[in-house]
Structure 1
Amino acid sequence: MSQLQWQTIKDHKSAPSTCGVYQYWENDKLLYIGKAINLKARLAGHAQNAKLDDKERAIVSSATEIRYTEVDSEFLALLLEASLIREYMPPYNRIWKDDKTYLYILIDISDPYPRPRFARAHELKSTKLSNNQKLFGPFPNTQIAEEILRAIRRLIPFCMVKKVGSHKCFYSKIGLCDPCPAVIKKTGDLELKKQYRKQIF
C-alpha cells in the first residue's frame, strides 16, 4: 500500500471525477475499500445511501477521513481493490459479503503447465494451500473474475484446458494459448516449456 500514491480528503466533495480505489478510515483503522469509475460520484453515493442504509451509515459516520488513489482504467481498479481487500480484509468488506461467496483465481505452479482456475472461499477453507499455489482475489462474482482473466489472457496467453492434448488447441490459433502446451509436449521443447511457465509466474 505504501507504494501507491494515496490522497486524503475529509469528504466526497473534494474527490476527483476519475477512476480509482478509495478507502474509509477511522483514525488509524481501515474500515472499507471500494473501487469507482468516478470517485466523486461513488463517494457521493455512499453519503446519500447512508441516509437509508445502516451499514452505509456506520461507515460514513465512523470515518474520520477518506483516502483515494487514481488508476488508468476500471480493470486496474478491480485488480487493486481485490488485492487490497484480500490483504487487509477491512471489517465492512467482510460484513457485506458472505465468505462463502468470495471467488478467487488459483494457480498451482507445481503443475507442468500451470493454468488459472476459479475457487470459492469455502473450498479453500477446507484445504490447506501449499507454497506452490498462488491465490488472487477475492472477486465479487464470476463475471468480473472471467473478465479479468480474459483481459490478462489477451496480454499473456495461457492454457485453460484441464488435460493437455496431442494437437495444437483452437485458442493457440487465435493467439490466446502461446506457446501451446500440446505443442511443447509433442516436441519436447524445454525452452518453450520454460517460456510458458515464466509467463504464468
Structure 2
Amino acid sequence: MNHLPGEELKASIALIPNKPGVYEFYDANQKILYVGKAKKLKKRVQSYFQKEQTSARLKLLVKKITSIEFTTVESDQEAFLLENNLIKEHQPKYNIQLKDDKSYPYIVIRNEPIPRLYFTRRKVQDGSEYFGPYTGVKHVRAIVNLAKELHPLRTCKLDLSPDKISQGKYKVCLEYHIGNCLAPCTGEQSASEYNEGIDTIRKILEGKTSNIIDALIERRNQATQELNFEQAHYYQKKIEKIQEFRMPSLVENLGIEQADVYQILHKEHGSAIHHIKIREYSIIFSTINQVIPKLHEDDEELLLQAIRKFTMAQPLEAIPPIIAPIDLDFPFAPVNVPERGEKTGYFL
C-alpha cells in the first residue's frame, strides 16, 4: 500500500510547477532526506506518492517526508549544479553513495613557493593540487619516482619562502650531495627553474605528454648534432621514462584522443562503477568504486552520480566527452554510446 501525503504535503505539491529544478525532501526534524532534480518538478515529486513502490527503503523514505522544498531553474545545467552542491553540502541519507575514496592514494603538488610532490591518502583544502585517486600505491610510487627522475625534487619540509632563501637560512643537505635535489633552499637552483620541472610533471599527471616528448626529442637531436652524446643520452632516458608512464591500451587504435569512460558492473554482492580517463590516446587513470544504491536507482542514475563525483570538481569547460554504455542526460559534455561492435574496446 502506498503512503499517501497528508494535507500539508498535498498543498506543497500543488504549488510545485512543472519546470526544471531541484527538490528536497525533509523529515520532522527538518533534516534533508533526499535531493533530486527533474525537468518537470511536479510530475517527478508526485511520482513518489502515486506509483506502487517495491523498494522497502523507498517506502520508508516516503513515510518520513514531512515537508518539501523546491527551486526552479532555467536549464538542466543549472539543475545539475544545484543538485550537486546540495548533495555535497548535506550528504542526504537516501542519496546514492559511492564508496568513500579516502583510502585511495593521491599525488599532491603542494601549494608552496617551491612545491613538494608526494603521495597522500588525505585531501586538504589548502590550495594544493591533487591528482587521482589511484587504485594502488605501487602505481603511485612509480609515478612519483618517475617525476623525481625527470626533475630532482626536494623532499624536506622546510619553509622555502623567498625571504628565507635570500637570507641564507639554510645549508645544502645530503640529498644535494647525492644528486637527488638541486638545493633550491640555498638558491643553487632558482625557483623558476624548479617550477619549470613541476610544470612538466603537472602536464604528465594530466596526460599531456605529446608536446613534452616532442620538445625532448628536439633537444636530444640537437645535442647529438653537437656531439654532446652524454646530454643526448640524458634526454633519451627522459623520453623513455615518460613513454613508460603512458599505459598501453586499445584506445590508440580506436582513435579516442580524450574521453572519460564509465561502465557499471553488477556483481552478486553489489554494483561498482568503472571509470577510465583517456588523454592523448592513452589511459592515464582507471579506478573501480563500489556504488551503494539507496532507492533501487536504475543504471542511468548510478552512472550520473559517478560522473558528478568525478567531474564536477573541475571547470565545466574542461569536462571531456563521456563514453557510457547507455544514453545519459548529462548537460555539460557530449555522451557517446558506442556501437555494439566497439564496446569491447572500452569496457571490461
TM, length-normalised to structure 2: 0.30
Greater relative contact order structure (CA < 8 Å, 6+ sep)? 1
Structure number with bigger Rg: 2
